[in-house]
Copies of this chain bind each other. A is one copy, B any other.
Amino acid sequence: MSRPTVAGVARAAGVSVASVSRVLNGLPATEEMVERVQRAVEELGYVPDARARSLKVGRTFQLTLAVADVGNPVYVTMMRAVEEVVAAAGYRLVVTTTGPDVVDEVALVRGMARGYADGLVISPLRVDEDLIKSIRECEVPVVVAGNVPAKTGVDTVRANSPKGILLAVEHLTARGRRQIAFVNGPADTVPGTARAKGFADAMKEFNLRSAGEIEAADFTFAAGRDAGKTLFKKSGPNAVICANDLLAVGVMHELAAYGLEVPNDVAVVGMDDSELAEQSFPPLTSVNLGSAERGRRAAELLLARIEDSTRTPRRIVVQPSLSVRRSTP
């Protein structure tokens, strides 16, 4: 009992394959024809083969979102936003994980090049020439939710994290905190470098001296804990800005272990304003870098480019805001 094909359905219904295809795609046909085909389809349990179909029509109606770490709640926000836009346009969204390394990212873009999906949204942590090259050469449209050089020639939607850090520093100083430390993610990542510079600039703008900077090994909770340990071994800041929410929550745990109270002894600000910021205790003041909007815009750009591959690439920047919660005074 092999799988039925259009031919099988046609035979069972006593009509031609063309008629079957027409009925299936809602093209005009007689009442009776529709009737017969549908009965046959029902009986055989026929399901069209997506590969063959897309091979013919040139579309899969699938879109892919590639993220570095499914455990990072910022991607949850982004996924939800992308999914919504994409589903409304009649596409199915699939998510794949790349891990933190560029090579995996490159492999993904290369592999996705042909046939798996009609388009791709990637949010790369690290960018190198290889990745840029693979994006340029990709046969299906790619939208980057993040920062790649303009020469890459693709649509991008990125956050303004320096501005976000400025908001955080401003907020902290307004609440009387001036010994501000910064826990960054790896400096060799795109967000890592942007945030390092953003912190330096923001502190200068407010005429403050950094109360310590740590480079965590990853953008993860565990790395945040580690960072917290070294941070409070060497300095005594009364505020910490963290490069994302996971790091911030990790740091808060370490603070508790040191018997320090948030926000009274130390204020903590995260970045991303993910669901975790709301769920953490105390709820985390966090820089909203517009992940939802970035996801939405990225999806829209992708759909637009699928419709018209000749439009000139846009580079959208989403502005941040601050979600003040209980981890700051």
Which residues of A line the B interface, CB within 8 A?
A: 3, 45, 47-55, 60, 62, 64, 70-71, 73, 76, 79-80, 83, 92-97, 110-111, 113-116, 137, 139, 221, 246, 249-250, 252-253, 256, 275-276, 278-281, 283
Contacts and interface: CB of A to CB of B under 8 A. Distances in A.
Contacts of A53: 115
Given A252-B281, A280-B280, A280-B281, A95 B70 contact: yes
Nearest to A62: B116
Contact of A114 (B50, B97, B250, B280): B50
25 contacts: A3-B139, A47-B110, A47-B139, A50-B111, A50-B115, A51-B51, A51-B52, A51-B54, A51-B115, A53-B115, A55-B55, A64-B94, A70-B79, A70-B80, A70-B95, A71-B76, A71-B80, A95-B97, A221-B275, A250-B279, A252-B281, A253-B279, A276-B279, A279-B280, A280-B280
Given A93-B96, A249-B279, A281-B253, A116 B50 contact: yes
B281 A115 contact: no
Number of copies: 2
A47 B116 CA distance: 12
Contact of A51 (B60, B93, B278): B60
Identify the 9 closest CB pairs spanning chains A and B, nearest first: A50-B115, A51-B115, A94-B94, A47-B113, A281-B281, A95-B95, A51-B51, A47-B114, A49-B114
Contact of A115 (B49, B71, B97): B49
A92 B107 CA distance: 11
B92 A95 contact: no
B70 A97 contact: no
Given A70-B95, A221-B275, 18 more contacts: A45-B137, A47-B110, A47-B113, A47-B139, A48-B114, A49-B114, A49-B115, A50-B115, A62-B116, A70-B79, A71-B73, A94-B94, A95-B97, A221-B278, A253-B283, A256-B281, A276-B279, A280-B280
Contacts of A60: 51
A90 to B, nearest CB: 12
B83 A279 contact: no
A54 B76 CA distance: 31
B97 A96 contact: no
